[in-house]
Structure 1
Amino acid sequence: MFPLSVFIAVMFFIFGACIGSFLNVVICRMPEGKSIVSPPSHCPTCNHTIPFYFNLPILSFLLLKGKCGFCNAPISIRYPLVEFITGLLALGLFLKFGMTPAAIFYFIFSAVLIAVSFIDLDHQIIPDKLSLPGILIFSTSCLFVPQMRFVSVIWGILAGGGILYLVALCYYHIRRHQGMGGGDIKLLAMIGAATGIKGVFFTLFTGSVFGTFGGMIAMARAGKSQKRQTKIPFGPFLSLGAILYIFWGESIIRWYINFLK
């Protein structure tokens, strides 16, 4: 018989995977201006409504061998990937924070970051419908996360939005075209609301490091004629930096400060 803690951990993963299934709907429909509530989930190829037994997170993809149960059209690997990532984050937050308000808060925040990341990867946009309400909603972090203070929330929002705005402004004056979209600016302001000013600087640094490596890989894979036109969405890297801060940011910052002494 499994210990209670193992059972609860499994339930958190399953719950997260179910939320990930909903995030797939958001990722697919929001950029196209469609309702995320109706119509029910359906196959984009044959438009057949997907019954609940074909819509089980991760499991249905495996049982159906990655194909629609009605027309055999291939199902994108992105669907189980989003579900797995969301389930893994739910489990990780439970293990780190336990059944606390902080775990719930950061799970909602992480779910928004997942949606933002995959939308940015697909369409190179970050919807204002996610980032702008997110700034207001996640500015309540000081109510749910014990170490957060309201002053840090305010500075996080101002620094998050302000730093990238200045970078974008300078880039425009130098190159005479936009190098960074307004969506990234609003996203970092939202991250600042949830993680405070320390989270902003950590996210910006780690996001830039991962973004640099991601850009190098994309450039290496692109043909010579495509290298100048290659655009790398920054939202996923900022989201990754923010999630890393939630789990290990404070420890990494303390290690770095001690290393400099």
Structure 2
Amino acid sequence: MSFADYLNVFFQSKIGLIFAFVLGSMFGSFFNVCIYRLPKELSIIKPRSFCPSCNKTIPWYYNIPLISWLYLRGKCAYCGAKISFRYFFVELLTALIFTFGVYKFGFSLKALEFIVLTSLMLILFFTDLYERILPDEITLGFIPIGLIFAYFSPERGFLESLVVGVIGAGLLFLLAYIYLKIKGIEGMGMGDVKMLALMGTFLGKKAFLALMIGSIIGTIVGLFIIYVLKKGRHYEIPFGCFLAIGTVITYLYGDNLIHYYVTHFLQHY
């Protein structure tokens, strides 16, 4: 067997999956830094991790992914301030993303693409949820990475991803502009437009399916928030969260959804 085959066997083993889980949790710790700092336009490199309440630098033994949050019971070791469950949750989700990626796709470029895309969607989900911001460092910064993956992808080509990214973002911008002119209020921000461009580079033409799925989920959740939770019609819905969900669903099950639609609906016409 080649070296790549040995790596594939390793990552399909229990030890390999545990390794992927631990590695993912470490990246999740870094993603928490991105989620907290990028909307505030702070460096994600310096300074080291610190408590948002007392600004004390967190030593490495209080910064072990998953374990430290559980050990400290979700509190700062110095000032006792509550540390959001989000930190633990993001580390756990990222660990599961890494584990699932190598379990489903093995040691492959496809696994790397899945891990990168889903990790980006995870960061965008939480920055939009908490701050209503989709940072350019993610949406625009990773478009070249998506195009590189597209170049090597047998499912979509470089040109398809480039065209869909441009056209998709352009159409969404046009819809947002028309809504603004008609309603006089902003229906979606430029962050959503840039995010769709990113989605297009990773998904190709299936980005429109992701947009549709995200819109359906967003509409259902939005109606619940407005009419059940009584937040009002002008409550700002974090549409990027639903685009992120739609993107992951489409990446994993897009072909199956399209096949189901064609065989169960289009065949009757």
Bucket of the pairwise TM-score, normalised by the shorter protein: over 0.9
Shift of 1:4: 6.6
1:185 aligns with 2:190: no
Q: How many residues align?
A: 256
Amino acid at match of 1:234: F
TM-score (norm: length of structure 2): 0.89
List alignment gaps of at least 5 residues for structure 1.
none
Matches within 5 A, 1:1-12: 5-12=13-20
Paired with 1:144 and 1:79, the residues of 2 have a C-alpha distance of: 34
2:154 aligned partner: 146
Gap change, CA 1:4 and 1:230, over 3 Å in 2: closer
**One-letter amino acid of the structure 2 residue matched with residue 52 of structure 1:** W
2:208 matches 1:201: yes
Residue of structure 2 equivalent to 1:116: 124
Correspondent of 2:47 among 39, 43, 62:
39
Aligned counterpart, 1:254 = 259
1:249 and 1:54 map into 2 onto residues whose CA distance is 41
2-structure distance, mates of 1:195, 1:112? 13
Question: Alpha carbons of 1:135 and 1:37: their partners in 2 closer, same or farther (altered >3 Å)?
Answer: same
Kindly report structure 1 stretches of 4+ aligned residues shifted beyond 6 Å.
none
AA of the residue aligned to 2:244 = S
1:212-223, aligned counterparts within 5 Å?
212-220=219-227, 222-223=229-230
User: Which residue, out of 241, 247, 250, partners 1:242?
Assistant: 247
Is this contact kept in 1: 2:12–2:106, CA < 8 A?
Answer: no
> Of residues 84, 93, 115 in structure 2, which corresponds to 1:85?
93
Alpha-carbon separation, structure 1, partners of 2:37 and 2:152: 30
1:51–1:178 distance in 2 versus 1, CA, 3 Å: same
The structural deviation recorded for 1:177 is 2.3
Shift of 1:243: 0.7
Asked if structure 2 preserves the Cα contact closer than 8 Å seen for 1:160 and 1:190, the reply is no
1:39-93 per-position Cα deviation (integer Å, ceiling 9, x unaligned): 1111111222111121111121111111112221111011011111111111121
Provide the residue aligned with 1:211 in structure 2.
Answer: 218
Q: For the aligned residues, what is the CA RMSD?
A: 1.7
2:113 to 94, 105, 127: 105
Q: Percent identity?
A: 36
Q: Which amino acid aligns with 2:192?
A: D
Q: Runs of 5+ in structure 2 lacking a partner? A: 1-10
